[in-house]
A = this chain, B = another copy of it.
Amino acid sequence: MNRIEALKQKAFEEKGFDGFLIANEINALYFSHCPGLACLLIPKIGENKAYVYNVNYEQAKAEAKGFKVELVKRNENLMAKIAEQAKAFKIKKLAIDALNVENYRKLAKELRGKTKLSVKGSLIWELRKVKDEEELEFMRKAGKITNEGMKTAYEVIRSGIKEIEAAAEIEYAMRKRGSWGTSFETILASGIRSAYPHGGCTDKEIRDGDLVVVDVGAAYKYYRSDMTRTLVAGKPSQKQIKLYEVVKEAQEKAVRAVKPKAKAKEIDNVARTVIEKAGYGEYFVHGLGHGVGLEVHEPPTLNPESKDKLAIGNVVTIEPGTYIIGFGGVRIEDTVLVKKGGAEKFTEGFYTLERAK
């Protein structure tokens, strides 16, 4: 079943809506295979519409599959245009993925109470979080390219190189192998800044003995990947090794626990228990992982409060970490597919504190 038909089944047949407004650009890309659209309107009865400003009009006409492309002029009120079409389609119960409060009010005003509006972005996430074969092909490729970037990290990181220079080499290696840019801003945080999970990447020089957290992701055909390794420039200390081994064991055990129907919070608990038993519980300051796809942070979510259950076709990160202020951080992360029998790793290898010889 294609994506539009799947949405119609879920929203119209099962939930009783008779129209869906898709205002989030990534959701619009998911259904149309075309970037840069203003929004989509999918009616229960009638022709699907894609709305686009002039700058992307020709591209949309060539690339948006399954939609009649409608030009939006700069001085037009888009919400009024949507409302007019919703009336023409006789939509009585319109689902919306997401709107800011200002556009929501504009739309409601134009509809004059004749169409009931409901924000139902969760229905689209139910579809997006189960990847189809095409998506998995792109994500496997993004993972392979990310592995090549990490190989470069283990080759170039050494005492004396700047964080930003190492990032340049890693990103270059991924681009040369076909990456569509980076999935997110590369984190390459060394020394005490490695204790900030989102420490970014600065012009600080990496020094002998620094812990270095490298969090990178390639993208392929709009699909993303996410991988973290931690290494030491020079010879690791006993304390660094101990911290690393704990995180590594937590990550391995959590990956092995991944399977369809598992509760996300229980996978989190597998990793958290390893880290707590080693006495580092207070330093694991984030959840175990998150879904990945067209965006780098998607449902399902893996943390102690998550109500999500894993299902075949989910792609998630497994990324325990420990962060000790004034000392440094360790994180190990892979992007994995949930499949029958367990996890398939899209990123893998380099489970070591030691740089390449």
Contact = CB atoms under 8 A, between A and B. Distances in A.
Interface of A: 35-36, 54-59, 74-75, 98-102, 104, 119, 164-165, 167-168, 171-172, 175-176, 178, 180-182, 185-186, 195-201, 203, 285-287, 303-305, 323, 325
Contacts of A119: 101-102
Contact of A175 (B100, B172, B195, B323): B172
8 contacts: A56-B198, A59-B196, A59-B198, A74-B305, A99-B101, A164-B178, A181-B186, A182-B182
A59 B197 CA distance: 9
List 10 tightest A-B contacts by C-beta distance, closest first: A168-B175, A55-B286, A172-B172, A59-B196, A101-B104, A54-B285, A75-B305, A101-B101, A181-B185, A55-B197
Nearest to A74: B305
Nearest to A285: B54
Contacts of A168: 172, 175-176
A104 B119 CA distance: 13
A200 B304 contact: no
A171 B304 CA distance: 39
A261 B75 CA distance: 23
A178 B203 contact: yes
A256 to B, nearest CB: 25
Nearest to A104: B101
Given A180-B185, A285-B57, A100 B102 contact: no
Contact of A36 (B55, B98, B198): B198
Nearest to A36: B198
A287 B168 CA distance: 33
A180 B164 CA distance: 8
A197 B165 contact: no
A48 to B, nearest CB: 22
Nearest to A165: B176
Nearest to A221: B202
Given A100-B100, A168-B176, A178-B164, A58 B196 contact: yes
Contacts of A199: 59
A200 B325 contact: no
Contacts of A203: 178
Contacts of A323: 58
Nearest to A198: B36
